[in-house]
Amino acid sequence: MSKKEEHIRKPEWLKIKLNTNDSYKGLKKMMREKKLHTVCEEARCPNIHECWAVRKTATFMILGDICTRACRFCAVKTGLPTELDLEEPERVADSVGDMGLKHVVITAVARDDLKDGGAEVFAETVRAIRRKNPFCTIEVLPSDMLGNEESLRTLMGARPNIMNHNIETVRRLSPRVRARATYDRTLEFLRRAKEMHEDIPTKSSLMIGLGETKEEIIETMDDLRANNVNIMTIGQYLQPTKKHLKVQKYYHPDEFAELREIAMSKGFSHCEAGPLVRSSYHADEQVNQAQVNEEAKKVQNETAVK
């Protein structure tokens, strides 16, 4: 076996202590009873025990658990999805209330089989949560819905508090890493979302460790800022199964700290960067900190003008 084919040993800072206390078990039981899916489970998120057991947060995954795409980094099942569950938005909204969430993230499998990519169900989920939980902020994390502008308009019309859509990887690696999605379509999706509702923050996530260079990471930051993205998250890619892309590098926490500083110098309202960071990790804190940073920048700009 060549060195390139060997698996790189996982470093100490990526070893996680599992916590399966009553909060974790209770949340898992509720998800099963309400027939709900979470990206936490389906994508094998490394933070599931912290989020479920300690923080009592979860990222709901709507539109079923079967994705029409087969991205080479993702563990979600691929195939032909089942019919839509039109009662799902109400069940999600009820669960948000049962959990007492102040911030919720709603994502979904890619549904390229649907004319609107699932936008209407997304929008109805946002409306249902807001109707039943008026003090909860809502973040949505959709697929690119094949770049359909009307689908994006439908979703943005529900006015989520944050529009999150992931760039995932650098331009050079995008064709190899992602299925059907493209680097430029993602940038266009984020730009259009901001143009439709300028006051709604946009957010995107980058996973590193797939063979990208530091220069390419910085280029991605510049591309996101050029399309008015407000919040960025950067995390370590972890290979979910042997069938998926291998990890090319494990970044040290100090490298993540440096990338965060670079991102903030580019003008992002907030950047969360670390080995275990995922798009929705500490999402409630991300939006709060972004608002604080934006206010601070406004004050600085006003002071400079005076």
At 101, give phi and psi (nearest 5°): -75, 145
281, two tokens: 């990790």
> What is the rounded distance in angstroms from the CA atom of residue 64 to the CA atom of residue 255?
37
> What is the rounded distance in angstroms from the CA atom of residue 115 to the CA atom of residue 272?
34
Q: Quick one: CA dihedral 175, 140, 205, 100, positive or negative? A: negative
234, two tokens: 């950067």
User: Is 136 annotated as belonging to a binding site?
Assistant: no
239, two tokens: 């290979």
Q: Is 149 left (phi over 0), alpha (psi -120 to 50) or beta?
A: alpha
HSE (side-chain half, CA atoms, 13 Å) at 191: 12
User: Is 271 annotated as belonging to a binding site?
Assistant: no
For the stretch 145-164, what's the b/e string if a residue is b when 16 or more beta carbons lie within 10 angstroms of its beta carbon? Answer: bbbeeebbebbbebebbbbb
Binding residue ranges? 40, 45, 51, 67, 71, 74, 280
Binding residue ranges for [4Fe-4S] cluster? 40, 45, 51, 67, 71, 74, 280
